[in-house]
Structure 1
């Protein structure tokens, strides 16, 4: 089974130093904090892994003239396009032909070549794979790569510098790139990781039960970001090491947590980010008295119109 080490996370931190926005931490009550990773470049933590991936390949001389390519109209596509622009390389992003115009415009704003193919993600992915094979472009992935996961894990040491006595970090989980990186770095410092999934998008929970990554149904308000059909082997390995707890939360709690962040703090977050907070608001994870807990709010690429009353 693949393994991610703290050395990988440290190498990522050194590689991307000065290129990412350090994560701000805000107090959210006694012994509670919020890590505001939604303020990151491109609006999500994905910028960390994408920058690490592109820069590492470039330093190794493994980045072809055709640049990088990815099939994603979401956070991963935005992050890949941004990282490629920042590194001075080409990015070709594949999307279904019915992708929202605002996503296409934003990708092009980062300098990416956008190719619209088919009507479903699977068709865009197939076209991306064909393009990579024909052009030699390096195919990137939203979460299933050690460099992507290691980059995501760099936020832990940034949080620790502000909260040196932190006990627990809470993160939402989709395919598991963020979780694998965070859990690996947290384990190094004796910090517990709480992995939170929607009840009907439970890829990591199912992998732990089965003893291997397995396909799961995807049906959640947070499925746009957390709707991976299976967890990565890296995530499963990370979940088996150190102090890791996994919890499930219902969609209603995710929606309430997202609304609460807007009403109380004027933070417009994705449902994926609210999923992590829902672990505390529902008491799916109930900290011990005095336990110092930080919740990672991982992204803000959302339509805020349903938050304004």
Structure 2
């Protein structure tokens, strides 16, 4: 959930039995406002199935809850599900270790569906007829199971700001996550383009180009990191994969800052408007600014769209390579 491995700084400890003794917060490494809470188990002398337990873990404060299980749902899980349903709190069941299903004789999708059907029968056996979201996932390989569905559930049940933040920073491990990133970046790019167009339309000597250049560098760097296309990762790839990742290859071979400077010709109005403004400032001081600013906005918008779509293509190439490598 946090993009961390066992033993890494910030990762939850792993063990058998009652590993978690207190309500423990785990902030996302890059999004401090997104926090997962690992809660102590219940149904033991330390934590009995009571309303006091729910108050202690502050169940009312969460955007949603995830109940992880393996095999059969326990009576304790049923108790918690009934409580969450009564409180009308959003939650989902997450069946882990989907990778173990690949060792069976039957197709993986059939095994996953069987696990979900078995879960539904268990719930109905305990009198729970409400529709409950169930996802089957693997922590070993996110491409096995329903990590896309779980991510979609998380996104849909977060407030707007948290939803956008987690989409940016969640690892680009599946095609759907990559598509969600691309969609969000395309929706948001107009803000940066508008600001850069505005600075072009109202030029200040010596200011416009450095500001717009820095904005482009910062935006492209954020796209690289979000799509998982860092220089460190890129260097570890086989040459044939590098060649297929055109824009990522161009950026890392030349360096990000040099790439932006060398491609500045794609935004032809980045410098011209100031010269035009100077030439016609006596006759058309306002109209010249409006025209140049509008042209700049469109040019920056097209440039950012080009970068985002091409990086998304590279991210899909990388994701396919990782899936093939695991297989």
Q: TM-score by structure 1 length? A: 0.29
The structure with the largest alpha-carbon Rg is: 2
Considering Cα pairs closer than 8 Å and 6+ residues apart, tell me whether 1 or 2 has the greater RCO. 1
More strand by share: 1
More helix by share: 2
